[in-house]
Structure 1
Amino acid sequence: MLMLGFTGFLGLLKIVLMALAAFALVDAAIRREDAYRAADKQNKMFWLIILGIALVVSYLFSILSILPIAGVIASIVYIVDVRPALKQVSGGRGWGRRGGSSSDGPYGPYNGGR
């Protein structure tokens, strides 16, 4: 009974890690090539290959293997380091986001009660 629960947990963890890699791959695919150069990061093709391999490896291998762990690390590096740099260079645009100021609230500009 305990092993069945552990297997279910590992299956759920595998799905979460695949979703993380898929999100990073799709996000890397929609970013512009020149944003990678402007942010001084590896080029777009590099990240597409690494994140594609991470997605395939997380699907094919057991989560307890070293390859899916390396894929998770690559996905986390992209999401935590590369993605914010790309968003900063491209003005925060992505995923259909409209432009706006950093002081904009949900109902318009917020100017601190002035």
Structure 2
Amino acid sequence: MLMDGFNGVLLLLTWAMLGLAVAAFVLALMAREDAYRAASKQTKTFWLVILGITVVVDLFLGMLFLQIAGLVASIVFFVDVRPALKQVSGGGGGRRGGSSSDGPYGPYNGGR
């Protein structure tokens, strides 16, 4: 009975690591190649290969030590690379002092 509970927790962790790896891969895929160079990070191809291998390992191999290595790579992408890419690309998650009615070309005044 105790092993069943442990296996359930391990399965949940495996799914969480897979979800994190897939999210990191998709975000790495969506970023521009020149943003990686401008942020002084590894190339886009490097991150796509590393995160792609992580997704494949999480899906098919299930070797815990490789999954943990992939988890570290995904965390590094989210904590270090993605914020640098967002800063270089000008994409910010926050408002940066703008109004909620600001559009891509400035404030929207309702046609007035």
TM-score bracket, shorter-length normalisation: 0.7 to 0.9
CA distance in structure 2 between the aligned counterparts of 1:35 and 1:62, rounded to whole angstroms: 33
Q: CA deviation at 1:101?
A: 5.0
- Which residue does the alignment assign to 1:75? 74
Aligned pair count reads: 102
Counting aligned pairs with the same residue, the percent is 55
- Which residue does the alignment assign to 1:56? 56
CA distance in structure 1 between the aligned counterparts of 2:67 and 2:60, rounded to whole angstroms: 9
Q: TM-score, normalised by structure 1?
A: 0.81
- Which residue does the alignment assign to 1:91? 90
4+ residue runs of structure 1 moved beyond 6 angstroms?
none
Q: TM-score, normalised by structure 2?
A: 0.82
- Which residue does the alignment assign to 1:102? 96
RMSD between superposed Cα atoms in Å: 2.0
Q: Which runs of 5+ in 1 are unaligned?
A: 110-114
Q: What code does the residue aligned with 2:6 have?
A: F
Q: CA deviation at 1:66?
A: 1.2
Q: Which runs of 5+ in 2 are unaligned?
A: 103-112
CA distance in structure 2 between the aligned counterparts of 1:21 and 1:15, rounded to whole angstroms: 10
Q: What code does the residue aligned with 1:41 have?
A: K
